[in-house]
Amino acid sequence: MAALVAATASVVVPASATSSPPPGVTPTQVSLGAIVTQSGSLAADFQPYLYGEQSYFNYVNSSGGVFGRHLVLSHALDDQSNPTNDTTDARNLVTADHVFAIVGVATALFNGGASYLKTTATPTFGYATSNIWSGPKNFFADYGSVVNYNSSVPDFAYVAKQVKGTKVALIALNYPSSQDECQPALKQLKSSYGVNVAYSNLNEPIFDANFSTDVTKMRGAGVNMVISCMDVGGDIALSKAMQLQGFTNVPQLWLDGYDRSVLKSNAPFMGNVYFMVQHVPFEAAATYTTKYPGLNLYFEQMSKSGYSNSEYSDVALMGWESAELFTQGLRAAGKNPTQAAVNAAINKMKNDTGGGVAAPTDWTVSHSKATSPSCVAFVATKGTSGSSPSFTQVFNRGANPWVCFPLTSKVNINAPVKPPAGTPGT
């Protein structure tokens, strides 16, 4: 495979250097592709991405499209939770389907596809689960293409302080993106923030993990807070194991699962769970109805598109954000767009807020580094023992939900800094 990729790279000609018409563009439409895990064991985490981007395209097309061209998601491929499929899907989208851009990549299995797409000029947008997105100027991941795992450590410590977690457990899957998220915390929580890591296991099997031994050891170590770097399936399995052993009412911080449909299906196992999110919390828009027009538009269009059951999904919102950014770039590229022109236009943008739902991403630098400060918001579950479980905004409960820390080796978690100018809600 490596030899094949290298051979391909040697003959690629950037779109700007050829007189051939750009792929996927006709007088009436722009053909777009996606690689989204829609079936198999990982589908629950990623499939809503398609709903968000399709809703945005429906919104644009209802007003005539971009320079009279409708944006058509003509090839939404499924990698079937199989790591061998993403390379094939990426090649097919470019060489067989001739899409203009890949506006939906939502999979944990993008390594091979990314290696190929780096050699093309194809504008590529998606959900970054690792730093495979960093570098190429045609890659645009939600919230920036560089994943700074160190930036999560102050957030972990901040939540521990709020919930009085003095002895934490760190749990991750034996998959790089999961392990990388928890590894800095294993090294820094105690030394930088005085939070003891009483138990850790960063090598849980991706499939069929048995958490009963972990729970026994956590109880023995006196753990009073759990930080999980797993996907929502692993989170729920761990929580079930904790309940079976009566290890309940222990605050948990999850990085995945902020989704009302997930909560509705798993409420008994999601009591006292906290989430850190990179966008305006959905609940904030309901409380401050005029403060977040971008999020209000998202809700309106998801409902119009028939995706009301998925509108309160982190992943669906990221699909919306990717579609919005692509559309900005396409408009800026003019009436006769090329792939290179779209890439160049976006790479001049310094204030990408996903349509008014997130802290700004500066695309003049965000291919190579994360920008400071790092800003997140926090929500928690409530009512999980009743008939109407829900999420609620926590810690910063006002119209400005953000908790921001500079990207330094050690920060003062008692003194969050101001969000960047242009951040929604500020």
Largest alpha-carbon pair distance within the chain? 68
Confidence of residue 130 (pLDDT cuts 50, 70, 90): confident
Strand 196-204 to strand 167-173: parallel, antiparallel, or no bridges (unpaired)? Answer: parallel
pLDDT at position 3: 35
Q: Which of 62-66, 127-131, 297-301, 332-336 has the lowest mean pLDDT?
A: 127-131
Distance CA 363, CA 371 (A): 10
pLDDT at position 9: 35
- Report domain extents, the chain: 2-143+295-346, 149-277+373-405
Secondary structure (H, E, C), 222-269: CCCEEEECCCHHHHHHHHHHHHHCCCCCCCEEECCCCEHHHHHHHHHH
Q: How many CB atoms lie within 10 A of CB 198?
A: 18
Average pLDDT over residues 372-387: 95
- Which residue is it, tokens 């939770």? 81
- 274 forms beta bridges with 253, 380
pLDDT at position 43: 78
- Side-chain half-sphere exposure of 108, counting CA atoms within 13 A: 20
Tell whether domain 2-143+295-346 is in CATH 3.30.300.30.
Answer: no
pLDDT at position 19: 56
- For the chain, what is the radius of gyration of the CA atoms? 21
- Per DSSP, helices labelled H in 334-424 are 339-346
Sign of the alpha-carbon torsion through 263, 269, 272, 273:
negative
For 6-53, what is each residue's pLDDT tens digit? 333 333 444 444 457 899 999 999 999 999 999 987 777 788 999 999
Mean of the per-residue pLDDT values for the chain? 92
Distance CA 383, CA 390 (A): 6
- Name the amino acid, one letter, at 122: T
Confidence of residue 169 (pLDDT cuts 50, 70, 90): very high
pLDDT at position 20: 76
Answer yes or no: same fold for 2-143+295-346 and 149-277+373-405: yes
DSSP 163-176: HT--EEEEEEESSH
Tell whether domain 149-277+373-405 is in CATH 3.40.50.300.
Answer: no
CA-to-CA dists, residue 157 to 80, 115, 165, 228, 378, angstroms: 36, 35, 9, 13, 13
- Which residue is it, tokens 């045609």? 138
Distance CA 402, CA 405 (A): 10
* Contact in structure between 148 and 123 (CB atoms under 8 Å): no
Average pLDDT over residues 158-184: 95
